[in-house]
Amino acid sequence: MTSLGKQIKVISCDLDDALYDNQPVLAHAEQICINYLETEFQKQSCSFDPDEFRAIRKKLLASDDIQLENMNVFRRKALTEFCQPLANRETIVDLALQRFLHARSLATIEPDIKTMLETLSSKFILVSITNGNCDPNRLSIGSFFDRNYSPLDGFRAKPHPQMLQQVLRDYAIQPKQLLHIGDALDKDGVAAEAAGAHFIQFAPFLNGQSVKKVVNFLLKQLFDSSTI
């Protein structure tokens, strides 16, 4: 191992746009949700405008309400506001959210990412830390993670360091023994710095670069080249 690898006991992994390309996943989940809502609006002869739903979400994203860092709370609030004209709107909101969340966790994992996590899990404890509402246990890589942390469990979202600080407590380790990998400097990087943990930016799906090349670069920062 390299000098960095010898220090690390736990690696926390961001999910969206780090371990899979999140944009097509979100686009698919959004479309499923919109299709369902459009059908329900038509059944009740109500005017349907998906741009209105997007405007509501944009407004809520600008809110400083900490509760909206939980993306399930955020989406439910947006759906509830959008579905105000409908009868039985609570049921429709529930079903729309269920459809979205089901599709939200159907991410395709690149083989090189799976191989990377297999390699890392043989030497380190792996956990997932995400601001999103993907269910890691429904991913094909879910078994690699010892624990999962997200605002759905009541934690503050990154860049707040609370989830990383909880990892330090849960595993009784020092900040220098924790490495966080994630794609976003302004969220993952800031959170890791605030927690005193190591950080490696890992964005293999950015700008059409080679996933294998980015994976190999990460592994070389932790392992001697002769061991990977």
Question: How does DSSP classify residue 142?
Answer: G
Tell me the average pLDDT across 144-157.
98
Q: What's the mean per-residue pLDDT of the chain?
A: 96
pLDDT for res 208: 84
Q: What is the pLDDT of residues 42-74, one digit of tens each?
A: 999 999 999 999 999 999 999 999 999 999 999
Higher pLDDT, 225 or 2: 2
* Tokens encoding 48: 């349907």
Residue 226's pLDDT band (boundaries 50, 70, 90)?
A: low
- Provide the pairing of β-strand 178-182 with 198-201: parallel
pLDDT over 90 (residue 224): no
CATH numbers and ranges of domains, the chain: 3-21+109-227 (3.40.50.1000), 24-104 (1.20.120)
Tell me how far apart the alpha carbons of residues 8 and 118 are, in angstroms, rounded to a whole number. Answer: 16
pTM confidence score? 0.94
User: If you count them, how many residues does the chain have?
Assistant: 228
